[in-house]
Every structure is written in C-alpha cells, then in structure tokens.
Amino acid sequence: MGSASALVAANMIGAGVFTTSGFALADLGSPIPVLIAWVVGGVLALCGALSYAGLAKQIPGNGGEYLFLSRTVHPLVGFLAGWVSLLAGFTAPIAVAAHSLEAYTRGSFGFELPSGVLGAGAIILAGLTHGIARAPGLRLQDIAVAAKLIAILAFIVIGAMVLGRGESIASIPMSTGDVSISAFAVTLVWISFAYSGWNAAVYVAGELDDPARTLPRALVLATLGVTLIYVALNAVFLFSAPISELAGKAEIGAVAAEALGGPVARAALSGVVALGLLTSISAMVMIGPRVYAQMAEDGVLPRSLAAGRDAPHRAVALQVSLSLVAFFMSELRDLLLYVGFLLGLSAAATVSCLFMKSMREQDGGPGVPGFPWVPGIFIVTTLGSAGFMVQRQPTQAAAGVVTLAIGAVVYYIGTRRRSASV
C-alpha cells in the first residue's frame, strides 16, 4: 500500500496547491472564503475517492475512468474519458506543472535558465525514468515523495510559528466579504485541479498487490492526509502577506515565504515546490501511459501503444511529446481552467456509474460508504461548478467541449476503420 499511497500523494501535491490560491484570492477577495473552498474541495475529493474505490473493487484492472465507463456505460463514453485523460488528465497538467516549476525557480536561486529549458527538461527526464523500467521509477518516486512531504510539513510548522508571533495577520481581513456563488463555484474548479490526483492509484490498479484491499486504503488515507496538508499550507500562504501582494500570483508560495523570512526563505520554499512539481510530473508521466496502453489493448488506440514486458515505452514517448507541445503552446491560467473543467466532467460521469443497474445488482452492491449520498454529493457539486464556469469562463469551457467533440469524431473514424478491416 505504501507505493500506492505515495503515488496518490505525488500526483495530488503538485502544481495546483502551489499556484491556485493566488488566482482564487484575486476572484474571492479574502483569505477566509479561499480556505473554505479548500476544505470543500477536500470533502469532494474524499467523496470521489470513496466512490472510485467502490468502482475499482467491482471492475479491477488498469485504465481508471476509461475502464469503468467502457465496461458499464458504452465504449464511446469510455473512449472519451480516455481522450480526456490523454489531453486534460495528464498532458495539460504535466504542462501546468512544468510552467509552475519555471515560475517558482525564476528569481529564487540567483540564476535563471532560458525560458522553457527547465520545464521541458523535467518532462523529458520523467519520460526517461518511467519509459525504461517500472521498478526503478517506483523507488525514486517513493523517496522523492517522502522528502517532499517532510519539507512541506516543516514549512507549515515554521510558517505557523512565524505568523504566531508576528503582526501580519492583523492587517488581513478575516471576514468572508461579499462572495458570489458563481465565483466560489469557479474557485472550486480551480481547486478541483489541485485535488485531482486522488484517483491516481486506480490507473495502475492492475499492477498492485491485493488491489481489493490496498486500493481503497491508499485512496482514502492519501486523500485525507493531503487535504489536511493543503488547508494548513494555504493558511500559511494566505496570511503571510497583504492581499495585494498575493492575489493573482502563480508563485504565491514563493511570495509568502519571502514575506515570512526574506530571500533565503523564498529560495528554500521554491526548492520544496520544485521537488513537489518534479515528483508530480514524474507521477503523471508514469500513470498516463498506462491508460493509453489499456486503450491500445482494447483496440481503440493503435496496438503499438500497448504495454511491453515492463513498461509501455511508446505510450510514455507519446505522453512526453504531447506534454512538450502543450507546455510550449499554452499559458498557465488557461490550462488550469481547461483542465479543471474537463476533469470534473469526466470524474462526475465516472462516479455516476455507481447508479447503473448493473453495478447496484452485483454482490455487495456499489460498496461505497454512505451510498447514495457520498457519490451524489460529488456529482451534483462537480457538475454545478462546471455549469457556473460555462457562464463565467466560456472560452475555456468551449475548449473543453471542442475537445470532447474531436474525441467523438476520432472514435467513430477508428470504429469504421476497424469494421472495414474485418
């Protein structure tokens, strides 16, 4: 269970937690509603984790949303979930993490590499690590995640001590202010991206020992632990400096650290974030290709992407190539909204599988504590936030809808070609 929990933690603690609050603060105007959004996001992530654990028990194997939706709804719906995983589930988030890595390291260590070099290098390094063999990549992942968590916890403790004896909190408004429901809902879309890694272990469930026992524990324990870390970390960020210095900043953690302890603290925190982003990139480059390999084995993607004896080499190469394209062609804020919107739709559709007749009639039923309220809350809240985003951020929402439409076209073209070859 250790590696599975580490994989979930690595995939969750990435770019989102270190960048989202700056943008959320610009929209909501006060730290309190931002922290409330982080708590709500954690509750939703836990609901999602419990729901996915129930699905994984009933439908074992690699592939995540693609596997669940293909088996319970329709191959087209499963393909679209895999398509979303390809573009919004892994490709775009890897690019987000690479952009964030550059934002945090820029100006923090006394030297700067040319733009694009560090981010692209991190993506390529992750591809080399996980495209050769599975075991070395897992060992490196576990060590890096442990170091990252220790460093983050140390920053939270030290930051809380500094804030406890300082006067910076007194100058920050503690009220919720006049926050609209739509603005709060869109903030949940931002935050859902930061929490989105809670489902990481389901993509490699077929490679876990005793997945029926290991997977639910890994999902739930990692999600609970990361939620506590997120809320504490963002409290330190949000109360460290005046709102004007934090709002809209992608590198909110670096700004907060400098306000608490000067340039040395900024460099230290940036080092922690860099480690977190590197492990996040590594986790996604490891997980994503397993989805494409499963799709290739099912015949909906080229057979050449199927897994080899130890690792899906060509699928890893595809993931690295697409991530590099997204990294060089897109901006951070637009990527965050696009990813949050599409991943929310995909996760809500997947959790809805629990209400299918075929799932409810299996031995033991859906196997989700609190059913139907737990999955129901997740679906309604996630779709509601997506609806508000369509209203407030129509461009990014439209990009998500176009992505789904293109995926449907690709599916039908592939289906016709397979039918013609039979």
166 to each of 25, 34, 180, 255, 347, how far by Cα in Å? 22, 22, 32, 17, 42
pLDDT at 156 over 80: yes
When the pLDDT of each residue in the chain is averaged and rounded to a whole number, the result is 82
CA-closest candidate to residue 84, choices 285, 416, 344: 344
User: Could you report the per-residue pLDDT of 202-251, keeping only the tens digit for each?
Assistant: 665 555 566 666 667 777 788 888 899 999 999 999 998 888 889 988 88
**CA 238/CA 32 separation, integer angstroms:** 9
Say if CB 400 and CB 189 are below 8 A apart. Answer: no
pLDDT at 14 over 80: no
Tally the residues of the chain: 422
89 vs 122: which has the higher pLDDT: 122
Q: Identify the weakest region by mean pLDDT among 172-186, 247-261, 390-404.
A: 172-186
Provide the token pair at 305.
């992407």
User: Could you report the per-residue pLDDT of 285-298, keeping only the tens digit for each?
Assistant: 887 888 788 778 87
What's the pLDDT band for 2 if we cut at 50, 70, 90?
low
pLDDT at 353 over 60: yes
Provide the token pair at 22.
């700056």
Say if CB 181 and CB 40 are below 8 A apart. Answer: no
Q: Identify the weakest region by mean pLDDT among 52-61, 165-174, 248-257, 282-291.
A: 165-174
CA-closest candidate to residue 152, choices 274, 39, 300: 274
Provide the token pair at 142.
């576990």
**CA–centroid distance for 8 within its chain:** 10
pLDDT at position 41 is 93
**CA 164/CA 166 separation, integer angstroms:** 6
Give me the mean pLDDT over the 71-83 stretch.
90
pTM of the full structure:
0.80
pLDDT at position 312 is 81
Provide the token pair at 311.
């690792």
pLDDT at 167 over 60: no
Torsion of CA 404, 410, 413, 419, to 10 degrees: -100
pLDDT at position 409 is 92
Number of H helices, E strands in the chain: 17, 0
Q: Amino acid letter at 407?
A: G
pLDDT at 170 over 50: no
pLDDT at position 15 is 73
pLDDT at 277 over 80: yes
Provide the token pair at 72.
């319970």
CATH of domain 2-356+370-421: 1.20.1740.10
pLDDT at 72 over 70: yes
pLDDT at position 135 is 52
Show Cβ contacts of residue 189 under 8 Å, excluding neighbours closer than 6 positions.
337, 340, 341, 344, 385, 386, 389
Residue written as tokens 């099912």?
298
Say if CB 53 and CB 369 are below 8 A apart. Answer: no
User: Could you report the per-residue pLDDT of 402-416, keeping only the tens digit for each?
Assistant: 999 999 998 888 788
